[in-house]
């Protein structure tokens, strides 16, 4: 580890475009060979008449089949494993919905590479082994916990697994341990700042904070800048998803001009979500990723549903890995609120257990003072709007039940029957008014 170098892995970070292309070709062939051991892919390759030798450039990825989240659900839990389960050492799982959740398997090497990816990102934004890194994100199945933990340790930093919430304790750790860097979802950092203000803590005067890694949920450039101004700290956008490993897939460098997606680990495509054809650079489309190093569960042309665009393939920082714009949102109906994935159907399921409620409901997502909130309006089955105590206690019970399901506390509003809009076709269940679009 050369701590004077701006690069942690210069042999990969500074590859030329030609070198990236050559490496990707070799690694894509390897991935196809690995996938040929998975019945799901073996059948598709056979039907399409594809062999690893047919891959002669990274663009040949287009000859390969797409993989969707539904494929992961259909093969739940271990159907996409490319190695025996005895070679796997960990699994992560996405928050379950009505159907099967998705499971991602990891071998020892997968975890090793994942830690390298995260370490590379943290180094890229100027962190060094003498920094103190506080990971204020959820641990457990959510990959932001262990992903950053192992990556920060790999880089050699003193790493504090503070986990999410409990702001007073977070602030105490920041002050007592001399924390210089935090990873958290952006909406949490704005909350943390409010608590600091209440406590009379000035982050500039009373802490050593200098770098934030923010991600796991869509956020605007304005919100990032606001966070930077509040704390006097540089905040870098971190993109990740469980299916690719977790955090570490894409990260901003110190130029803050888009997310570098690591092309020694992934082939990046942006496609039109309708036609599935590639869109030109600069045009918004769905992000499609192919893993190049993963052993336990390699994924080919995984449709992320995230919408973004290519900004460039060179950067003044010296890294030529593709740069993508911050995510615009998702093409499906999943809501990501404060880093938690929520499906409307989870809300519906709870509401429907209350006989006092009618069937119509509306979820509204808003950004209030930079915090993302959810309001659930639901129609009452019968009118008892004059019984205030009864309304209040019902509202409380619904709120609690929803919180148990989605792990966040929504604002529940009971409205008279017939007062919410009814659509002619499919019901519109979610109105997203958050400031995620620029
Ligand atoms: P999960 O697999 O549960 O970690 O969720 C991954 C999803 O979170 C991605 O597909 C994105 O929709 C979202 N996400 C993660 N990081 C970011 C980010 N930096 N900006 C916007 N959305 C993000
Ligand atoms: Zn750069």
Pocket lining: 303 vs ligand 1, CB cutoff 6 Å: no
Average pLDDT over residues 261-269: 98
Q: Which of 240, 245, 299 to mutate to test the pocket of ligand 1 (most atoms within 8 A of CB)?
A: 240
How far, in Å, CA of 92 to CA of 106, rounded?
A: 8
Pocket lining: 102 vs ligand 1, CB cutoff 6 Å: no
Pocket lining: 286 vs ligand 1, CB cutoff 6 Å: no
Pocket lining: 239 vs ligand 1, CB cutoff 6 Å: yes
Q: Which one is predicted more confidently, 301 or 348?
A: 301
pTM recorded for the entire structure? 0.80
Lowest mean pLDDT among 24-38, 103-117, 138-152, 420-434: 420-434
What average pLDDT does the chain have?
91
Which ligand 1 atom is nearest residue 330's CA? 12
Pocket lining: 13 vs ligand 1, CB cutoff 6 Å: no
How far, in Å, CA of 407 to CA of 391, rounded?
A: 23
Lowest mean pLDDT among 48-52, 128-132, 150-154, 221-225: 221-225
Pocket lining: 341 vs ligand 1, CB cutoff 6 Å: yes
How many CB atoms sit inside 10 A of residue 434's CB?
24
- The ligand placed nearest to the CA atom of residue 237 is 1
| CB proximity list for 298: less than 8 A, separation 6 or greater | 31, 34, 35, 38, 82, 291
CA torsion angle 118 28 80 148 (round to 10): 0
Q: Is the pLDDT of residue 298 over 70?
A: yes
- 329: confidence class by pLDDT, cuts 50, 70, 90: low
Average pLDDT over residues 132-142: 92
Question: pLDDT tens for residues 375-405?
Answer: 999 999 876 667 889 899 999 999 999 999 9
How far, in Å, CA of 113 to CA of 319, rounded?
A: 19
How far, in Å, CA of 115 to CA of 40, rounded?
A: 28
Pocket lining: 121 vs ligand 1, CB cutoff 6 Å: no
Of 181, 160, 159, 156, nearest in space to 169 by CA? 160
Which ligand 1 atom is nearest residue 218's CA? 21
Ligand 2 centre distance from Cα of residue 93 (Å): 31
How far, in Å, CA of 335 to CA of 217, rounded?
A: 9
| Domains of the chain as residue ranges with CATH | 1-332 (3.40.50.12780), 335-432 (3.30.300.30)
- The ligand placed nearest to the CA atom of residue 321 is 2
54 within 8 A of 63, measured Cβ to Cβ: yes
Question: pLDDT tens for residues 305-318?
Answer: 998 999 999 999 99
How far, in Å, CA of 408 to CA of 350, rounded?
A: 14
- How many DSSP H helices and E strands does the chain contain? 12, 20
Question: pLDDT tens for residues 52-73?
Answer: 999 999 999 999 999 999 999 9
- The ligand placed nearest to the CA atom of residue 261 is 2
Pocket lining: 336 vs ligand 1, CB cutoff 6 Å: yes
| pLDDT at position 88 | 98
How many CB atoms sit inside 10 A of residue 272's CB?
13
Average pLDDT over residues 176-191: 90
Question: pLDDT tens for residues 203-213?
Answer: 999 999 999 99
Residue nearest to atom 8 of ligand 1 (CA): 216
| pLDDT at position 422 | 67
């Amino acid at each position: 580890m050369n701590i004077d170098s701006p690069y942690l892995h210069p042999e990969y970070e500074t590859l030329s475009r030609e070198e990236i292309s050559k490496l990707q070709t070799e690694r894509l062939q390897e991935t196809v060979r690995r996938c040929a051991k998975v019945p799901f892919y073996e059948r598709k390759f056979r039907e399409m008449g594809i062999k690893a030798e047919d891959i002669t450039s990274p663009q040949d990825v287009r000859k390969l089949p797409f993989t969707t989240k539904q494929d992961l659900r259909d093969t739940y839990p271990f159907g996409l494993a490319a190695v025996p389960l005895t070679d796997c050492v960990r699994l992560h799982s996405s928050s379950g919905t009505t159907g099967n959740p998705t499971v991602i398997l990891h071998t020892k090497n997968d975890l090793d590479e994942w830690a390298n990816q995260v370490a590379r990102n943290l180094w890229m934004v100027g962190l060094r082994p003498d920094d103190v890194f506080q990971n204020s994100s959820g641990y457990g199945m959510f990959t932001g916990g262990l992903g950053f933990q192992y990556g920060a340790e790999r880089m050699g930093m003193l790493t504090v697994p503070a986990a999410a919430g409990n702001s007073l304790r977070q602030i105490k750790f920041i002050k007592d341990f001399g924390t210089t860097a935090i990873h958290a979802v952006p909406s949490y950092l704005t909350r943390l700042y409010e608590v600091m203000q209440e406590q009379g803590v000035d982050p500039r005067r009373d802490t050593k904070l200098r770098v934030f890694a923010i991600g796991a949920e869509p956020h605007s450039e304005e919100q990032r800048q606001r966070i930077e101004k509040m704390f006097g700290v540089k905040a870098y956008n971190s993109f990740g998803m469980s299916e690719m490993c977790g955090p570490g897939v894409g990260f901003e460098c110190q130029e803050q001009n888009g997310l570098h997606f690591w092309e020694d680990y992934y082939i990046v495509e942006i496609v039109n979500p309708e036609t599935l054809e590639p869109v030109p650079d600069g045009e918004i489309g769905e992000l499609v990723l192919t893993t190049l190093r993963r052993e336990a569960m390699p994924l080919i042309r995984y449709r992320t549903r995230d919408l973004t665009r290519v900004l460039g393939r060179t950067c003044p920082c010296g890294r030529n890995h593709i740069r993508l714009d911050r995510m615009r949102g998702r093409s499906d109906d999943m809501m990501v609120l404060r880093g938690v994935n929520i499906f409307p159907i989870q809300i519906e399921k709870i509401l429907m257990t209350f006989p006092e409620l009618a069937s119509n409901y509306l979820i509204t997502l808003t950004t209030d003072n930079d915090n993302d909130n959810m309001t659930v309006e639901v129609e009452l089955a019968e009118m008892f709007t004059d019984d205030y105590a009864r309304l209040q206690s019902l509202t409380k019970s619904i709120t609690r039940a929803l919180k148990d399901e989605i792990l966040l506390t929504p604002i529940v509003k009971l409205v008279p029957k017939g007062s919410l809009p009814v659509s002619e076709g499919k019901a519109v269940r979610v109105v997203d008014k958050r400031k995620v679009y620029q």
